[in-house]
Amino acid sequence: MYEDLNELKEIVKTCNKCNLCKGRTNTVFADGDENAKIMFIGEGPGADEDREGVPFVGKAGKLMNQAFIGLGISREKIYIANIVKCRPPNNRTPLKEEAIACLDYLRNQVVVVQPKIVVLLGNTALKNILGEEYGITASRGKWIEKKGIKYMPTFHPAALLRDESKKIDFWNDLELVKKEAEKENLVF
């Protein structure tokens, strides 16, 4: 276990545990406040994220940022990470072995950050964090508590770009997160 996220970030930069390292420009470790009590976990970097080395800076990230602004959630006061730290080719879903190769990094991030609330963005995040028995359509919008952390599964912002009808559910799910954070006096 690493207690220093900067040390872990440096290790991730040279990671070659899976083949995703061969196509990366940058690793995408995380963004936001390392002391945040609210954490968002996505799937993996896209082309913009790979280029910039920061999660959720492309079209899906801009959409998520608009929701944050609308709900009064400060991106700077939350912590954002992904299941995999390198971009899968053509933005495909990470393979199980790729996710497994990266999960120890993410577990370390969770241990160090110590979030009270984790928002799982999409099916890949949901299944890799809570288990294969979960599905995003059935689980979204419902709190799942494990080991003292409250998880809120919701659609990945990229899914909203493909299907605008999911925007309302995404918004409602983030409203539930905001209400829970306010109830627990968490800064966001």
Global confidence as pTM: 0.97
pLDDT beyond 90 at 188: no
**What pLDDT was estimated at residue 187?**
81
**What pLDDT was estimated at residue 160?**
97
pLDDT beyond 80 at 180: yes
Total structural domains in the chain? 1
Mean pLDDT of the chain: 96
Q: What is the DSSP string of 149-176?
A: EEEEEE--HHHHHH-GGGHHHHHHHHHH
Q: What are the pLDDT digits (tens) for 78-99?
A: 999 999 999 999 999 999 999 9
How many CA atoms does the CB half-sphere of 71 hold within 13 Å? Answer: 23
Is 100 a domain residue?
yes
Match 């419902």 to its residue by tokens: 142
What does the alpha-carbon distance between residue 52 and residue 150 come to, in Å, rounded to a whole number?
Answer: 30
Is 158 a domain residue?
yes
Is 70 a domain residue?
yes
Is 29 a domain residue?
yes
Q: What are the pLDDT digits (tens) for 34-61?
A: 999 999 999 999 999 999 999 999 999 9
pLDDT above 90 covers what percent of the chain? 96
Q: What is the largest CA-CA distance in the chain?
A: 45
CATH of the domain at 165: 3.40.470.10
pLDDT beyond 90 at 3: no
Is 151 a domain residue?
yes
Query: Is residue 42 within 8 Å of 121, Cβ to Cβ?
Result: yes
Could you tell me the residue range of the domain that residue 60 belongs to?
Answer: 5-183
Is 188 a domain residue?
no
Which of these, 128, 50, 112, 56, lies nearest to 87 by C-alpha position?
Answer: 50
